[in-house]
Amino acid sequence: MKPSISRSVPKVDNDEKISGKALYVSDLRMPDMHYARTLRSSKAHAKVLEIIMPALPEGVVVVDHQDIEGINVVKMIFDDWPVFAENEVTYVGEPLCLVVGPDRAVLHEIIENTKVIYEDLPAVFDFSHSVVQRSFSKGDTEKAFLKAHRIITKTYETGYQEQAYIEPQGLLGYPESAHKIVIKGSMQCPYYIKNAVDMMFGPNGPDVRIIQAAVGGAFGGKEEYPSLIACQVALAVKKTGKPVQLVFSREEDMTVTTKRHPSKILMSCALDENHQMTAIKAHVALDGGARTGLSGVVLSRAMLAVTGAYTVPNILATGDVYMTHTVPTGAFRGFGAPQMMFAIEMFVHDIAFPRSKRMRSSSG
């Protein structure tokens, strides 16, 4: 039978998922498996002076930056995202260490009874510190604006958006041999993880194999973020010699993982006598949070969508990613285009239906 675009093609994992036989990372079990819980910062920006933990029961270990023999950085585009915070925290929820052991309830008690001594530092929450800049142009916007019959300027803002995947972030690591560690779990980009863990371990570290398990949704939220927790789990496996499972609670996941970038987009349009758009100037400002991550890529793709489906002969687009002391933002379906599409569609609506005209229409 010849292939037909009208014939449905079953997904390769249909049967497993429909029957309930698919094994997600929280379903995986191994002999002598240990669990991990994360101790996180309660401060947006502070020096870490001391971490005071209760006495650790036998078999429980702490994994932190001191266990890293290579580089305390998660490999992404920019090397500014540490595996574990060292002397300073830069957002609420930043990981300080893992507590690893065979009993999850015990780990919870240890985390709850740990005290961290901080020295507060100034925190930035506004769009004042740019870490990435982009620009491009087409035509002659300055000339078009000088000749404009009318100029309209508006600002549009969007907020955080959570991916809300069904399955929270989670990974299982285990030693496959004396010199090889396997990381298996919920992920979108296995090679990102492979490269990140290899760089953290350095040239003398163990070999690493990455396996993608069944994934209960991702939508970009499991593109770069699993590289961070994979480095942490790999360290825990190396230190304990045991299988280690790290699965976030839903509350933890929504609090500390990457989100869609909040945006503030300034739009200016030059119109001619026939009310046609002759030029657009736009500035796209994105809140990157405390780490750069994939924000540069998100900014570029937002700017490429500056005119949406509309043809405008003259364009000047600029953009900045701003660092704030908030949870890092990252990949989410559309990579910046949804923020820009919202802005351009609202802008065109406001050009076509000015506020005073809308008010007259609604009043009859």
3-class DSSP state of 73? coil
User: Domain-by-domain residue ranges, the chain?
Assistant: 22-121+164-255, 130-161+258-352
* Residue 299: its H or E element: helix 295-304
pLDDT of residue 353: 87
Matching residue, tokens 């698919």: 22
**C-alpha angle 236-237-243 in degrees, rounded to nearest 5:** 120
pLDDT of residue 58: 95
3-class DSSP state of 100? strand
Pick 22-121+164-255's CATH classification: 3.30.460.80, 3.40.50.1100, 3.90.1170.50, 1.20.120.1200.
Answer: 3.90.1170.50
Pick 130-161+258-352's CATH classification: 3.40.50.720, 3.40.50.300, 1.20.58.1290, 3.30.365.10.
Answer: 3.30.365.10
pLDDT of residue 354: 75
| Residue whose C-alpha is closest to residue 70's, from 196, 163, 154, 180 | 196
pLDDT of residue 7: 87
3-class DSSP state of 279? strand
List the 46-52 sheet strands across, edge first: 88-89, 46-52, 115-120
Q: What is the pTM of this model?
A: 0.92
| Residue whose C-alpha is closest to residue 260's, from 362, 332, 158 | 332
Q: Which residues contact 77 (CB under 8 A, 6 or more apart)?
A: 292, 293, 294, 296, 297
Query: pLDDT digit of tens for each residue in the chain (364 aa)?
Result: 677 888 888 888 889 989 999 999 999 999 999 999 999 999 999 999 999 999 999 999 999 999 999 999 999 999 999 999 999 999 999 999 999 999 999 999 999 999 999 999 999 999 999 999 999 999 999 999 999 999 999 999 999 999 999 999 999 999 999 899 999 999 999 999 999 999 999 999 999 999 999 999 999 999 999 999 999 999 999 999 999 999 999 999 999 999 999 999 999 999 999 999 999 999 999 999 999 999 999 999 999 999 999 999 999 999 999 999 999 999 999 999 999 999 999 999 999 987 655 444 444 4
DSSP 147: T
| Residue whose C-alpha is closest to residue 237's, from 179, 191, 186, 181 | 181
